[in-house]
Amino acid sequence: MEQIPILQLGGFLLVTIQVELHDHLAMTLQDDLTSKLARTHAKGVLIDISALEIVDSFIGRTLGQIAAIARVMDATTVLVGMRPAVAITLVELGMSMKGVRTALNVDKGMLLLRDVIDEFEVVEPAPSGGASSQS
């Protein structure tokens, strides 16, 4: 059975799609990524699609669903390496990919993920040192 590797890098998950993504493999990726998010509590998902030459409506919808699932599980998704022809196809199909951030390459995608995560991190208040010393 064909699988796409999902690597954990700190608080992020990295998915590099190096094979042609057919419908069954896309669904397997969605299931595997959802399970990995649940196990790791990762705050970011970076999906590299630079090897994909063609994205049809099903694959486009699946990528959007992956991002929506990640968002519900408190993770941000960044899609990187989109070829111009793929971007044109998605727009022509009317797929806006709402909630999916994009970047040109993996390096820029990782920077974007870090910025987004840092922006939303809640800083916990420092614990109080005990009773105040009033005389």
Q: Mind listing the pLDDT tens digit for each residue in 82-96?
A: 999 999 999 998 988
Residue-wise pLDDT tens digits, 2-54: 899 999 998 999 999 999 899 999 999 999 999 999 999 999 999 999 999 98
Strand order through the sheet with 76-80: 6-9, 12-16, 44-48, 76-80, 101-103
Q: Which residue type is seen at 100?
A: V
Is 41 within 8 Å of 31 (Cβ atoms)? Answer: no
- Judged against a pLDDT cut of 60, whether residue 97 lies above it is answered with yes
Instruction: List Cβ neighbours of 126 (8 Å cut-off, separation of 6 or more).
Output: none
Q: Between these two residues, 55 and 132, which has the higher pLDDT value?
A: 55
Cβ neighbours around 87 below 10 Å, total = 13
Instruction: Give the per-residue pLDDT at 133.
Output: 47
Domains and CATH numbers, the chain: 6-118 (3.30.750.24)
